[in-house]
Amino acid sequence: MANTPQARKRIRRNANRAEINGARLGRIRTFVKKVEAAIDGGDKTAAAEALRSAQPELARGVARGVLHKNTAARKVSRLSKRIASL
């Protein structure tokens, strides 16, 4: 257990950050799922529109340190490749 005031504060801050970061990741996953649902539906224009709205969310996740830069780039690349093949 944390004994020093600094360690106690760090535990509180880590819990708050984990909650915020979890919400950010969940939001990103929701946007990606919308793109995948549009792809599965076979609607190329809806999928492209969903990807355009998901890209800023992925970039924001990178900027906030929730996602690695290459992870976001890989996701965008794979989604756009799937949309192009529709």
Residues 62, 36: Cα–Cα separation, whole Å: 20
Q: What would the pLDDT profile of 1-60 be if each residue is shown by its tens digit?
A: 789 999 999 999 999 999 999 999 999 999 999 999 999 999 999 999 999 999 999 999
* pTM confidence score: 0.88
CATH number belonging to domain 5-84: 1.20.58.110
Q: Which token pair is 38? A: 């549009």
- Torsions phi, psi for 84 (to 5 deg): -65, -30
Q: Domain boundaries in the chain?
A: 5-84
